[in-house]
Structure 1
Amino acid sequence: MRANKIALEESFVEIDGFKIFTKLYEKKQEKPTVVMDSGYGDYSKAWDNIIYEVMKFANVFVYDRAGLGRSEKSPNSRTSLEMVKELKAVLTKLKLNPPYILVGHSFGGVNVRLFATQFPNDIAGVVLVDSTPVDYKERFLPTMSKEFQEAYNKQFIYEGTYEEFMASLSQLKKEQRYLDNIPMIVLSAGKKAHYSKESQELWNEMQKEILDISGKSELVIAENSAHYIQNDEPFVVIDAIKRMIEY
């Protein structure tokens, strides 16, 4: 195989009696592996719009969390702490050695922040893509319309319950530690669907507050993106990841 040829390896990794579907795009270079974690109810296909660009300059790992996509269900609770343990077990079993660049979208951002807290020595950088703030329920959700809140609460049927999702936010709030010199880029969607001007400003402000957990952090507002920045402005995400690789 030529040094510049990219290989795709798909595999089912068994942990705790169930199998997780994974994809590794490998470019045989001495670079950190980019580990991508999707939002609530999403799986690896959520990254399709950017993955072929990212794999030009990095080793890339994507996977389907338990019970989603091609992965089997887990007997463990669907909270971030359990998901982080499962991800760590999968990476270890595949012998994908750190350091990692963690990229998390929405709820996946909760997971990667918790992963970075649990295993800081494994992390070379973090990119948060419109990540869910820890105080979303208390501060943000009450500012939205009754219809929005009802629709939001009814969505929790694909991956864990509403209670487990909120437990995940509580876990992050409890476990979060200062990430010291781990670089972090926070991407905030600047054109959220169904948001008033005031709600949009609050959302951007709450994304900005996440910067406080790292000594090397930066906020980028994707002005023309709704929640899926990787679809609406893919090169905003690609550029953030590339900058982490080159950090």
Structure 2
Amino acid sequence: MISTNGHRLAFHVTPGHLPTIVLDAGGGLDSSYWKNLVPVLAGDTGSEIITYDRAGMGASDEVPGPWKVQDAVSDLAAGLRQLGVTHDVVLVSHSEAGEIATSFVNDHPGAVAGAVLVDASLPDFYTPGELSRVIAANQAQIATLAKQPSTKQTRQLLAVAQDYGPAHQAYHQMTWPQDVPAIAIESAKTPFDTSPADARLWRDAQAAFVSHAANRRLVVAANSSHDVPIDRPDVVVKAIQDMIAEVGRT
């Protein structure tokens, strides 16, 4: 348990060598999302592996108020710092965690050697028109969540919704550092498998991201939903192995 800013966070560490693989799950999910992948990665890579529960999820304390990416970045940084992990990180970020990854690599230069972004939320997706459509489409879902029994997952999702518009307007302006290599894994269905227009823009955002630097590439996970680590763990493991080979090990 890591203490920071008045709350505690659960971090889970599998010992190994550098680079350290840090697995960050998507919105409303905790470290258990990676439970089947961790032993495979440990056996295949020998790397130290870290998973954790963001505030309000799993065994970590809840923090009231709207979810802010800056708070999530601060929590992750504090946990890694207290664990002595300050460099040679391969960051593996799924879905919403792509937003944390983007802020983290900008705020902590030199900490991340490379990243695998698994069907991740990327800045290019949040054009003004798309953001308006997503907010409108989410209204019914938010209203339904508010009526459901309160759980950690529903409270976390509602916290994200509170500041969604302004937060993603700002996120749309962010960029990924040119010196941090990345592999973007795109799912076959995207998170918008019932909305062709949204799905197309999601794919366009993945393609735009990798086009911005020569040290990025795109992998499409065939036959997968948005939950690529569940549906196609082999694709995720291969991308992590490739990134470790690119950044080296110590």
TM-score class normalised by the smaller sequence: 0.7 to 0.9
Say whether the 8 Å CA contact 2:119–2:185 is kept in structure 1: yes
Q: Aligned pair in 2 of structure 1 residues 222, 203: CA closer, same or farther (>3 Å)?
A: same
Identity %: 26
Say whether the 8 Å CA contact 2:126–2:172 is kept in structure 1: no
Alpha-carbon distance between aligned partners in 2 of 1:93 and 1:78, rounded to the nearest angstrom? 23
Alpha-carbon distance between aligned partners in 2 of 1:224 and 1:177, rounded to the nearest angstrom? 30
Say whether the 8 Å CA contact 2:66–2:162 is kept in structure 1: no
Q: Aligned pair in 2 of structure 1 residues 178, 189: CA closer, same or farther (>3 Å)?
A: closer
Match of residue 3 from structure 1: none
Match of 1:158 among 155, 160, 166: 155
Alpha-carbon distance between aligned partners in 2 of 1:13 and 1:239, rounded to the nearest angstrom? 31
Q: TM-score, normalised by structure 2?
A: 0.82
Q: Aligned pair in 2 of structure 1 residues 98, 76: CA closer, same or farther (>3 Å)?
A: farther
Shift, 1:179, TM fit: 1.2
Match of residue 44 from structure 1: 31
Shift, 1:230, TM fit: 0.2
Say whether the 8 Å CA contact 2:131–2:165 is kept in structure 1: no
Q: Aligned pair in 2 of structure 1 residues 74, 199: CA closer, same or farther (>3 Å)?
A: closer
AA aligned to 1:42 is L
Alpha-carbon distance between aligned partners in 2 of 1:55 and 1:217, rounded to the nearest angstrom? 25
Say whether the 8 Å CA contact 1:190–1:204 is kept in structure 2: no
AA aligned to 2:118 is V
Match of residue 151 from structure 2: none
Q: Which is worse superposed, 236-245 or 73-82?
A: 73-82
1:98-177 equivalences in 2 (<5 Å): 98-134=87-123, 135-136=125-126, 138-140=128-130, 149-154=138-143, 157-159=154-156, 160-174=159-173, 176-177=174-175
Shift, 1:98, TM fit: 1.3
Matching of residue 185 in structure 1 with residue 183 in structure 2: yes
Q: Which is worse superposed, 38-47 or 178-187?
A: 178-187
Unaligned ranges ≥5, structure 1: 1-11
Match of residue 209 from structure 1: 208
Q: Aligned pair in 2 of structure 1 residues 70, 178: CA closer, same or farther (>3 Å)?
A: closer
Q: TM-score, normalised by structure 1?
A: 0.83
Alpha-carbon distance between aligned partners in 2 of 1:139 and 1:237, rounded to the nearest angstrom? 31
AA aligned to 2:121 is T
1:152-187 C-alpha deviation (Å, 9 max, x unpaired): 54558431241334444344334x344122110011
Helix, strand or coil for the counterpart of 2:10? strand
Say whether the 8 Å CA contact 1:226–1:232 is kept in structure 2: yes
Count of paired positions? 231
Matching of residue 229 in structure 1 with residue 228 in structure 2: yes
Say whether the 8 Å CA contact 1:105–1:131 is kept in structure 2: yes
**CA RMSD between the two structures:** 2.5
Helix, strand or coil for the counterpart of 2:229? helix
Alpha-carbon distance between aligned partners in 2 of 1:76 and 1:141, rounded to the nearest angstrom? 22
Helix, strand or coil for the counterpart of 2:36? helix
